Amino acid sequence: MKPMKISEAVVRRLPVYLQVLNDLNMRDVQTVSSQELGNRLDLNPAQIRKDLAYFGDFGRKGIGYDVTYLIEKIRQILKLDQPLNVGLVGAGNLGRALCNYNTYLKDNMKITAVFDVHPSMVGASINGLTVLPMEKLKETIAERNIRIGIITVPATEAQNVADKFSEAGVDGILNFAPTILRVPEHVRIHYANFTTELMSLAYYLDEEGDKENDETVVD
């Protein structure tokens, strides 16, 4: 399926390309140059050409990329042409917010089960999904062929949930709890950490120079 080992940086850019391409497609744009993609994404067009060249010879000189063809190719590469079921533990604000993304997940990727560790949350309905108790995790993951687990519980509970997901047989975990987790070798874990996002953004702020002075009024 995959022609070669692709760097994680490229894999992380592909969904972003897909997002822009879907947007162009919705507006009936038929071809797009690497220059235009670069402008929209604030990326070097040469970088984009290089990224996409990993997957074959998509572009045509002077014309650019065929939008629908490129969408189809990226979807294949990311395996979005196959159903992918996702389970989530933690029906708090963040978990609820993520379930609402199901609307955007037009592809086959979908949150198909929600769990919570607190009995008081069990039975609640979120975007059409009924919150299940943790005791149902293993059987539900098997029954619904859930391959990715999302963790949206507090940091202190996250390792326990990661263990349960791993035991239940998921292949990947997306962890939103602000803590590093240990998982077995065969489980791939990604971190979606709000604070690290903010911190890496903060790094860049001074590059433009402080416009005024640095006095800060704290609330």
**Which residues in the 86-105 window bind a second copy by CB under 8 A?**
86, 92-94, 96-98, 100-101, 104-105
CB of 175 to a second copy, least distance (A): 10
- Whether residue 90 is annotated as binding a ligand: the answer is yes
Distance CA 120, CA 124 (A): 9
- Mark the segment that binds a second copy (CB under 8 A) among 28-36, 46-54, 117-125, 189-197: 189-197
CB 140 within 8 A of CB 88: no
Under the binding rule (CB under 8 A), the answer on residue 112 touching a second copy is yes
Which residues does 146 contact at the CB level (< 8 Å), separation at least 6? 85, 86, 87, 112, 113, 140, 170
Q: Does 26 bind a second copy (CB under 8 A)?
A: no
Give the range of 27-35, 54-62, 65-73, 204-212 binding a second copy by CB under 8 A: 204-212
Within 10 angstroms of residue 6's Cβ, the number of other Cβ atoms is 14
Place of tokens 């996002």: 197
- For a second copy, the closer CB: 41 or 117: 41
169 among the known binding-site residues? no
Residue 87, strand partner residues: 113, 149
Distances from the Cα of 122 to the Cαs of 87, 104, 175, in angstroms? 15, 25, 21
Min dist. Cβ of residue 129 to a second copy (A): 8
Pairing of β 109-116 and β 125-126: unpaired
Q: Can residue 208 be called a binding residue for a second copy (CB under 8 A)? A: yes
- What is the SS3 assignment for 213? coil
* Tokens at 56, concatenated: 């074959």
> Does residue 126 contact residue 96 with C-beta atoms inside 8 Å?
yes
Confirm or reject binding of residue 40 to a second copy (CB under 8 A).
yes
Residue 94 known to bind ligand: yes
Shortest distance (Å) from residue 54 CB to a second copy? 12
Question: Does the footprint of a second copy cover residue 216 (CB under 8 A)?
Answer: yes
Please report, as residue ranges, which positions from 131 to 170 form the binding site for a second copy (by CB under 8 A).
143-145, 147-148, 150, 152, 155, 169
Our finding on whether 171 is near a second copy (CB under 8 A) is yes
